Amino acid sequence: MYYVSTRDKSNRRMAAEAIAQGLAADGGLYTPEVFPKLSHNALQSMKDMSYQQRAVYIMNAFLDDYSAAELTAFAKRAYGDGKFDAKEVAPVRQVDQNTYALELWHGPTCAFKDMALQILPHLLTAALKKNAESRTACILTATSGDTGKAALEGFRDVAQTRILVFYPQDGVSQVQKLQMLTQEGENVGVCAVEGNFDDAQTGVKKIFSDPKLRQALDERGYFFSSANSINWGRVLPQIVYYVSAYCDLLRDEKIQPGDTVNVCVPTGNFGDILAGYYAKKMGVPLGRLICASNKNKVLTDFIRTGIYDRDREFYTTISPSMDILISSNLERMLFEFSGCNDAEVRSYMDQLANQGRYEVSDAVKARFADQFSAGFCDDEDTRKTIAKLWSGEHYLADPHTAVAFHVLEEYRKTTQDERPAIVVSTASPFKFSSDVLEAIGVKDPAEGLEAVEQLSEKTGIAPPHSLAALRHRKVRFGQAIAKEQMADQVLGFLK
Ligand SMILES: *Cc1c(COP(=O)(O)O)cnc(C)c1O
């Protein structure tokens, strides 16, 4: 099975090459040429498997050049050995009669990025061997807060890799910042960029596609790779948890075989919800894919109108990991819905780069309408939703997850579609303790690590170990640069 670039279908690679490169040299995203289909009995037979076994089952269908034995070892290292503080790895919690939370934040950095970034380093280092690559992979990552820490934690001290993370100076929470600044490992670097996430991400993309820099790196024995969700090795492990959640509901007899389940996903880069679409394409009976935005609702507007317009005000919200105006993974969806028309995708992406907007064809619009619904939630409604879930259901949600709960509620009100729904829960509430405290009625809550303690006292819920342990960690990084200096920063890092 091959992967093709969304901007040039003749650029065809095996999985190991696609994963090692991250972004295609033509700027496109590697995407499977064909999708494996789950057989009739597959969901039934996966029902009684562990999360690791399910991961091997799904990933094996996409990765011809990896053996099942390799994948089994990777899944064990990524999801076993106490790496996650829930034995189910990605537990499904029932919140009310027909609503479930798929909790993806039981990993080492307390956000859903761990689901993919715990296994990506294994996929990548194996890829280097398969490709007989002798150079060291330099992972460059722009983060809206959670990816950076999860990537650092996944790649720290992994042989033949170095990782440098750029984060927007004022765009991440205190706990997120502290998590990154105290990162351990000999091969890691962390640097703040003056600007927002899109500035950092655009800077990284520029570095990637700069032939002179590539050349300079090559001479030093390095090449660029990516841990952002543009990398297929990020998207694939995310397909697993949608399959897994459906299997859990089957196993627990919450649904019958064939029943459809809606999913509602808090969305920024469109990576998480894209994986949900792919799970559905493989044959998991998912219903509506509901895209939940915060006040930066560029995706909601796009799904409703077919016009993607990034030329708008940028808001800093209490769900910072979704403060994104350029949604990279939407490109894979455009490729899919244009019937794999690389020229059409190129034209949309050129318009986005040059004019800041594009409008998709009626055919593409119709295909989005057929699969996706969308809604958004501002900070005030986010806080109200956290309060309501806590007082009503005794469920403590982080702000990102709350955005999705709110959007699901609005969706149900307007459509009367009361099918069971899975809300994808993307971060531990303790990662955003201050905002959660405020939402549940605490005036002038503490900040940073004190807030973690305060939230625990207030709710009687123990905080994740990795957050509690932060107070004993030394701050190792503190540099902030202008976005124009990012390339120099990279060269300095790889001296
Ligand atoms: C990254 C992130 C999101 C958005 O996920 P995308 O794949 O970018 O759509 C939502 N919530 C949290 C907590 C995140 O870290």
Distance between CA atoms of 271 and 248, rounded to whole angstroms?
22
Question: Which of 117, 144, 290, 321 most suits a substitution to test ligand 1, by most atoms within 8 Å of the C-beta?
Answer: 321
Domain-located, residue 146: no
Structure confidence at residue 81 (pLDDT) = 82
CATH number at residue 244: 3.40.50.1100
Question: Distance, CA 265 to ligand 1 centroid (Å)?
Answer: 9
Spacing, Cα 317 to ligand 1 middle (Å): 13
Regarding pTM above 0.85, the answer is yes
* pLDDT tier for residue 108 given thresholds of 50, 70 and 90: very high
Residue numbers annotated as active site: 113
* Cα–ligand 1 centroid distance for 312 (angstroms): 21
Is 271's C-beta closer than 6 angstroms to any atom of ligand 1? yes
Ligand 1: residue whose CA is nearest its atom 8: 269
The stretch 278-293 carries a mean pLDDT of: 98
What residues make up the domain containing 387? Answer: 92-112+236-435
Asked whether residue 349 is assigned to any structural domain, the reply reads yes
Instruction: Please state, for a pLDDT cut of 70, what percent of the chain lies above it.
Output: 100
Mean pLDDT for the stretch of residues 99-117: 97
Cβ 234 under 6 angstroms from ligand 1: no
Q: Is residue 227 part of a domain?
A: no
Alpha-carbon gap, residue 402 to 384, rounded angstroms: 9
What pLDDT digit, counting tens, does each position of 203-236 carry? Answer: 998 998 899 999 999 999 999 988 888 899 999 9
Give the atom of ligand 1 at the shortest distance from the alpha carbon of 401. Answer: 11
- Structural domain contains residue 482: no
Instruction: Quote the pLDDT of residue 198.
Output: 85
Q: Is 269 in the pocket of ligand 1 (CB under 6 A)?
A: yes
Look at residue 336 and tell me if it is in a domain: yes
Give the atom of ligand 1 at the shortest distance from the alpha carbon of 273: 9
Q: What is the DSSP string of 285-338?
A: -EEEEEEEE-S--HHHHHHHHSEEE--S-----S-GGG--SS-TTHHHHHHHHT
Pocket residue to mutate for ligand 1, from 317, 322, 324, most atoms within 8 A of Cβ? 322
Greatest distance between any 2 Cα atoms in the chain: 61
Nearest to 316 by CA among 429, 185, 168, 424: 168
Confirm whether 380 is domain-assigned. yes
Q: Which two tokens stand for residue 9?
A: 């279908």
- Residue at 271 is within a domain: yes
Sign of CA dihedral 389, 390, 395, 397: positive
Q: What letter represents residue 276's amino acid? A: G
Render pLDDT for 430-455 as a digit per residue (tens, 0 to 9).
999 999 999 999 999 999 999 999 99
- In this predicted structure, the answer to whether residue 40 has a pLDDT above a threshold of 80 is no
Per the structure, the count of domains in the chain is 1
Least confident of 65-74, 168-177, 413-422: 168-177
83-93 mean pLDDT:
96
Q: Is residue 478 part of a domain?
A: no
